[in-house]
Amino acid sequence: MKFGVRREKRIPRPARNDTSVITRGIAFCAVALIAAFSLEAQAPEPMPLAHGNVPGEPHHHLKIENEDVRVYYVEVPPHQDTQPHQHDHDYIYVSLGPSDVVNAVRDKPEVHLVLKDGETHFTRGGFAHVARNLADTPFRNITIELLWLEAGKKWTIVTAGESNVNRFLILRFKESEAAKNY
């Protein structure tokens, strides 16, 4: 023994048991899987619809965009869903062919829709949803976002019809009446 240095006797560690190492490995993997599934189970943020050079939900194909409207051709293959997406503007949609879909609006009960060819509906914007195609055929529609409407402005459809020349839609605003061709 040297001066000033005192050596202590080492106490041997207990030998590791192979089963404890395996158990710890399984526990670690289980925690990792639970964390991964819980992250996946969280609803993804809805994406916007395409506008300008900004890409959007892939089933909504932007065909026309100007200061008044954005027109999308929507096609969802049989038994598939759109990605969660946001509708910021009021819009009209026209069903192209019969369809059987579920409209799953975020934070609301799902709505089952059986649409006929040519069926037309107006929908207020300001929501996110997923469209689920339940049919054996593609779900197709034309969606027309009404950009020229002021957000939150109250209006109602007065009449819709056809003339020899075109189809028309008359909208009544609080202050006045306006006609737009579609």
Structure tokens that stand for 53 in this block: 């050079």
| Whole-number average pLDDT of the chain | 76
Digit-coded pLDDT (tens) for 24-65: 666 665 555 555 544 444 556 887 787 877 888 999 999 999
CATH (domain of 69): 2.60.120.10
Based on the fold, state whether residues 80 and 139 are members of the same structural domain: yes
Which residues fall within 8 angstroms of residue 6, CB to CB, at 6 or more apart?
Answer: none
Which residues fall within 8 angstroms of residue 163, CB to CB, at 6 or more apart?
Answer: none
Structural domain includes residue 50: no
Structural domain includes residue 54: no
Based on the fold, state whether residues 105 and 166 are members of the same structural domain: no
Structural domain includes residue 29: no
Structure tokens that stand for 3 in this block: 């001066």
Structural domain includes residue 49: no
Based on the fold, state whether residues 67 and 136 are members of the same structural domain: yes
Structural domain includes residue 107: yes
Structural domain including 142 reads 60-148
Based on the fold, state whether residues 100 and 160 are members of the same structural domain: no
Average pLDDT over residues 99-114: 95
Based on the fold, state whether residues 65 and 110 are members of the same structural domain: yes
Integer Cα distance of 49 and 72 in angstroms: 9
Q: Is the pLDDT of residue 19 over 80?
A: no
Digit-coded pLDDT (tens) for 142-182: 999 998 765 555 555 555 555 554 545 555 444 334 444 33
Based on the fold, state whether residues 72 and 130 are members of the same structural domain: yes
Structural domain includes residue 96: yes
Based on the fold, state whether residues 115 and 178 are members of the same structural domain: no
| 80 contacts 105 by C-beta, under 8 angstroms | no
Per DSSP, the three-state class of 28 is helix
Structural domain includes residue 16: no
Query: pLDDT grade, residue 8 (50/70/90)?
Result: low
Integer Cα distance of 180 and 182 in angstroms: 6
Lowest mean pLDDT among 19-28, 121-130, 149-158: 149-158
Based on the fold, state whether residues 158 and 144 are members of the same structural domain: no
Taking the CB of residue 92, how many other CB atoms lie within 10 A of it? 20
Query: pLDDT grade, residue 7 (50/70/90)?
Result: low
Based on the fold, state whether residues 141 and 175 are members of the same structural domain: no
Integer Cα distance of 52 and 34 in angstroms: 40
Q: Give the model's pLDDT for residue 147.
A: 86
Based on the fold, state whether residues 122 and 163 are members of the same structural domain: no
Based on the fold, state whether residues 137 and 65 are members of the same structural domain: yes
Based on the fold, state whether residues 112 and 177 are members of the same structural domain: no
Integer Cα distance of 176 and 182 in angstroms: 19
In total, how many domains does the chain have?
Answer: 2
Structural domain includes residue 20: no
